[in-house]
Structure 1
Amino acid sequence: MDIRKNKFTYFAGISANLLTYGSGLGYGWASPALSKLSGHVDPENNPLSSPTTVTQESWIASLLSLGAMCSPFLTAFLSEKIGRKKTLLVFVLPTIISHLILIFAKRVVDFYVARFLIGLSTGCAITIVPLYSAEISQKHNRGAIGALVIVMLASGHFTASVVAPYVTIRTFSALALIPSGLFLIVFGIFVPESPYFYILMDDKRGAKLSLEKLRGTENVGEELGEIVKSVEELKSSERDNLRELFTSSYCLRCLFWSVALIFFQQLTGLIYIVNYTQKIFESAHTPISEEIAVMLVTLVQITSILVSTQILDRVPRRKLALLSLTSILVITTTMGTYFYMQKHHFNLLHFTWLPVLCLMVFILSFNMGICPISYIFPGEIFQPNVKSLGVNLVMCVGLFWEFAVASFLPALSNRFGFDVPFWVFTGATCFGIAFVGFSMPETGGKSFLEINESLRYKE
């Protein structure tokens, strides 16, 4: 793979993912900001007149997920009507408005609105950016450009963990406007619409110009012909996709497998750990500062995502998911035991380093197995005519459970102790291991046709 020969394609992919980077900033914002809003850190710069309650914190943390849950079907519809590029440009506006609200926020409700708005942009980013990336890329670089989504999301999270603890909420919100502004300028002015969308609109000239710009050559006739053929086959197979998704036994089984996998992925507790990393370390009395511990965890997140792109196609999906979930089970059990013993006043003075190590291993295990697999898997098993609908539905279900975990687990930990959420994650992960081991079909190393035929053979 020679990046120099496809430099504008990579430029377009990175430009589109500036929106995803902004979403990563939104996810990473929660941990340091909640510590400040609750008065535990930097109370003199709290924009609120009084510290937040646990309930208010859980809503501030979780409303991003609720906003993201509302986006996929709307953005998918718009992307078919006005194009992938225009849809992305429209949905960067909620992020910009969100940060402007946060700069001047003085009431809890301001934070609610801002977090919901950035969630709308996040839902668009995780739905349309992968679609746009796939449609502008080629066979030899589709994996690398597609992986930019999770890399940029993690990079935004890491940036927030490095910067946000050391500046005020207002300052960080002002800084967070920069990638959104860059996205509007760079992606809006220099990057073309997807050639696939032009063909969907019967605009071959527009598709040709788009391909010429993306490839840096006028010799795009063969690729243009392949796109035309692909779109024509898609149009010829169109039927009542919604009805088929919920009546076909094959589609229902695919839906069950996909929804179950995303459910167990969310119930490992990642969103809870992401939102409350700093508070977890504060409660654990770690030997290094909470801010440094959070940075270490997010740095591991980026590293593990980069490594996962190299091993996903080399290790069977089911084996990798089992290894990931088993490691997570060990970690959540260890964390639950640690906080249980701390709650009952055991002497843990010599083990305060353990939570930092555990969460680093948790992030490593999560991002190298169950996380990417649960997002790749639905796109591999749904048949082409219901794939978009099925994947978006699975995404919404996943975001619903992300919202539920972020909303209710903080109250549970506040009332019963920090160990209780980790026991919940441990129990769910046990069921997840059983599901993957006994029910989840293997898709690694198979073409879409081979996957479809092997699953239909089991009917």
Structure 2
Amino acid sequence: MNTNSLKNDDQMKPYMINVQNKFEAFIQASPKECSVPVPLVMQYGSEESVDTSAPSGIVEIDIHATKRRNLFFSTVCGLAPSIAPHLPVGTAVDGIQIMYVARFFSGISVGCIFMVTPMYIAEIADTRVRSALGSLFTLFLIFGYLVEYSIGPYFSSTVLVLVSFISPITCLTIFCTVLPESPLYLMGKGEREAATSALQWLRRREDVSDEIKEIEVSLEESRTTDLVSWSQLLTTRGHLKCLYYVITLILFQQLSGVTVILFYSEPILKMTSSDLSPAVGTILLAVVYMLASFWAPGLTAKFGIKRLLVLSSIGCCFFLGALAFYFYLDQVKVNLDSFKWVPVACNVLYFSFHSIGLSSGPWALMGEFYSPSIKAKSSALTASFCWMFVFILSKLFPPISISLGPAICFAVFSAFCFVCTLYIVILLPDTSGMSLFQIQKLLYEGKK
């Protein structure tokens, strides 16, 4: 199988998401040539996530259309956040309006990427490497942070925007010249010859008749499954149980503080008075987060998602608590000159534990818990809730941190990680070693 095209192109989509997120963060940190005034960008900076959460739900409308076209569309929309800060504007108000429009298109792009990329990979990947390719989603998300962290503090915003163009332009080029349409989609449209050609290109072999037959059987089975309506999704006990488990985990994922810490990493490191510069510190955190993510697929296969979620939440609880205690001692004027390394160490270990469970676990369970009949609507709803949680937390963190001190914020994050541990141990079902059919039977009938 030709996996290079998958790794280098389709997995660049999550990388694009964090290029969009961190691009605006570095406009705040070093806005050398941005036409929007810094105070206004900072004032509205946290509102990026609400502009993302609203249009994310729109993607469900066209989720069953050609995956290649949806990915192409998301890439075009993803260009907006990079272009907007450099448009010539007459007033600050005009600049903010342009940023809002850019964020709306960014929301459509992010929503489409979160929805379509896992589905496209599942449809074109060989079964032997499907899980491995799917697990790269989080890794490339973090890689997006690392790229922007590494460039933002040291170069002008013009250089930053040019670098931010690389991934969408590369994706557009590959979509137009190389990437085939999903064989499953082509078979569903009755284009058997085109589906065969696409599959032959993906597998790099001529004989793909067995897989074509499997696709035909899959299509026949899917035609017997009716898609649920929104009213059925929100009123059926089994569907609500699936939503409850996944959205609750997504909530705890965000209440662990990961996105807030990534969004405000430089200001947080500045508050620690560490000998390590904030710019270098953020790069270090991103590198550690990315390297730790390499372990997640192998650990998940060996120990199961639930055990890793428990370990991840316990580790995050401990190191967030340690960070809160450090900030408390600093707030009461205790001499911490000999312990300036503690905040960076706590952050590094926090991200290491977060990457093995809370980072990718909720999204992995979403693929297991959502049946084909509810996947489109449930995934759109989950993505919208996720970005709404991000908005609320990123909006509340700065004023609470300023008025009550960062110690309170990190203590709250630590407490939520403890509650998350109890939730996972007591309420979350363990699906290790279960087939998708067994998982659905457990969720809807309460039987293994």
- Give the TM-score normalised by the residue count of structure 1: 0.90
Asked if residue 90 in structure 1 is aligned to residue 73 in structure 2, the reply is yes
- Corresponding residue to 1:143 among 114, 131, 141: 131
**Aligned equivalents of 2:168 and 2:37: distance in 1?**
31
Cα displacement (A) at 1:416: 2.0
Q: Which deviates more from structure 2 when the two are superposed, residues 10-19 or residues 391-400?
A: 10-19
Counterpart-to-counterpart distance in 2, 1:151 and 1:308: 9
Shift of 1:103: 2.6
Alpha-carbon distance between aligned partners in 1 of 2:179 and 2:36, rounded to the nearest angstrom = 45
Q: Choose the corresponding residue for 1:24, options 6, 13, 18.
A: 18
Amino acid at match of 1:124: C
Matched pairs, number:
442
Aligned equivalents of 2:141, 2:110: Cα separation in 1: 10
Amino acid at match of 1:380: E
Structure-2 separation of matches of 1:159 and 1:50:
24
Alpha-carbon separation, structure 1, partners of 2:321 and 2:88: 39
Seen in structure 2, the aligned counterparts of structure 1 residues 306 and 173 have a Cα distance that, compared at 3 Å, is same
Specify the alignment match of 1:52 in structure 2: 39
State, as a whole percentage, how many aligned pairs show the same letter.
21
Task: Write out aligned runs for 1:397-436 (5 A).
Answer: 397-436=385-424
Q: 1:70 aligns with which of 32, 50, 54?
A: 54
Look up the SS of the partner of 2:193 in the other structure: helix
* CA-CA distance at 1:97 after TM superposition: 2.6
Give the residue type in structure 1 aligned to 2:423: F
CA distance in 1, matches of 2:85, 2:360: 31
Which residue is equivalent to 1:382?
Answer: 370
8 Å CA contact 1:24, 1:157 repeated in 2: yes
Equivalent AA in structure 2 for residue 247 of structure 1: T
Q: CA deviation at 1:116?
A: 4.1
Q: Are the equivalent residues in 1 in contact too, given 2:30–2:152 (CA < 8 A)?
A: no
Mean alpha-carbon deviation: is it higher for 275-284 or for 115-124? 115-124
Change over 3 Å in CA distance of 1:245–1:119 after alignment to 2: closer
Give the whole-Å Cα distance in 2 for the aligned partners of 1:397 and 1:276.
Answer: 21
Distance 2:228 2:19 in 1: 39
Q: Please tell me whether residue 371 in structure 1 is matched to residue 359 in structure 2.
A: yes
Amino acid across the alignment from 1:52: P
> What is the CA–CA distance in structure 1 between the aligned matches of 2:145 and 2:336, rounded to whole Å?
30
Q: Which residue does 2:8 correspond to in 1?
A: 14
Does the C-alpha gap of structure 1 residues 91 and 426 become closer, same or farther in structure 2, counting only changes over 3 Å?
same
For 1:373 and 1:270, how far apart are their aligned partners in 2? Answer: 14
Query: For residues 58 and 275 of structure 1, do their structure 2 counterparts lie closer, same or farther at Cα, with a shift above 3 Å needed?
Result: farther
Pairing of 1:429-448 with structure 2 (within 5 A): 429-448=417-436
Whole-angstrom CA distance in 1 between matches of 2:308 and 2:129: 23
Alpha-carbon distance between aligned partners in 2 of 1:286 and 1:193, rounded to the nearest angstrom? 50
Q: Which residue of 2 aligns with 1:199?
A: 187
Cα distance in 1, alignment partners of residues 227 and 154 from structure 2: 54
Residue 49 of structure 1, CA deviation? 7.5
When residues 12 and 326 of structure 1 are mapped into structure 2, their CA distance, relative to the original with a 3 A threshold, is: closer
Are 1:315 and 2:303 matched, yes or no?
yes
Q: Does 1:186 align with 2:180?
A: no
Structure 2 counterpart of 1:147, one-letter code: S
Q: Give the 3-state SS of the residue equivalent to 1:70 in structure 2.
A: helix
User: How big is the shift at 1:241?
Assistant: 4.2
What is the identity, as a one-letter code, of the residue corresponding to 2:332? H
Q: What's the counterpart of residue 208 of structure 2?
A: 220
Aligned equivalents of 2:128, 2:78: Cα separation in 1: 33
Partner amino acid, structure 1, of 2:195 = A
Pick from 99, 114, 127 the counterpart of residue 126 of structure 1.
114
Aligned match of 2:155: 167
- SS of the equivalent of 1:383 reads coil
Counterpart in 1 of 2:320? Answer: 332
Aligned match for 1:255, one of 237, 240, 243: 243
Per-residue CA deviation, residues 195-239 of structure 1 (Å, 9 max, x unaligned), is 111122232222112112111222111101111111221111115
Deviation, structure 1 residue 263: 0.7
Between the aligned partners of 1:11 and 1:436, the Cα distance in structure 2 is 37
Once superposed, what is the RMSD of the aligned Cα atoms?
2.1
Range 255-264 or range 95-104, more displaced? 95-104
Distance between the aligned counterparts of 1:349 and 1:115, measured in 2?
42
Deviation at 1:357, TM superposition (A): 0.9
| Paired residue type of 1:313 | A
> Which letter does structure 1 place at the counterpart of 2:373?
N
Higher alpha-carbon deviation: 386-395 or 133-142: 386-395
Moved more, 221-230 or 420-429: 420-429
Q: CA deviation at 1:72?
A: 3.9
